[in-house]
Amino acid sequence: SAPPSVPSCADGRCAGSGRPDGDLFPLIFPSEPAPASGPYVEIIEQPKQRGMRFRYKCEGRSAGSIPGERSTDTTKTHPTIKINGYTGPGTVRISLVTKDPPHRPHPHELVGKDCRDGFYEAELCPDRCIHR
């Protein structure tokens, strides 16, 4: 079976929430379930709190990439997830959600490389189980 979509993380190459897709619904995964529970998403690095400010389209530029929680002035990191326990075909879909439960689609959207309609999307493949 195909792996689930992942709406709880943002890709470091994208700047700027996601809108729910008619065919998908939000799923929240524990970061470290028991190994016998099957495929799961491991959040390696969360977005940095207050790491950037929202930019309006009329400003004519993006806000830049979303920094990871371990970013410093000299070392840039990005939010990162790892798909564990799954090697078949599938798609990773990431959007911004609100900080507090119950998590809801955020009013801002992701933009940039591999981002479309407000979310990041990439195909799973055996040599790419980590997404930044």
The full set of domain ranges for the chain reads 1-132
% of residues, the chain, pLDDT over 90: 5
| Chain position carrying tokens 């040599």 | 127
Q: For residue 10, what are its two tokens?
A: 């943002």
- CATH number for the domain whose boundaries are 1-132: 2.60.40.340
Q: How confident is the model at residue 126 (pLDDT cuts 50, 70, 90)?
A: confident
The better pLDDT of the pair 69, 129 is held by 69
Mean pLDDT of the 71-98 span: 87
Residue 72's Cβ-count burial label (10 Å; 0-12, 13-18, 19+) is exposed
> Quick check: 38 and 44 in contact, CB under 8 A?
no
Upstream peptide bond of 102 is cis (omega within 30 degrees of 0) = yes
In this predicted structure, the answer to whether residue 41 has a pLDDT above a threshold of 70 is yes
pLDDT at 61: 63
Which is it for strands 40-45 and 80-84: parallel, antiparallel or unpaired? antiparallel
pLDDT at 56: 66
For the beta carbon of residue 9, count every other beta carbon within 10 angstroms: 25
Q: What span, in angstroms and rounded, lies between the C-alpha atoms of 99 and 119?
A: 17
Q: How confident is the model at residue 62 (pLDDT cuts 50, 70, 90)?
A: low
The better pLDDT of the pair 3, 57 is held by 57
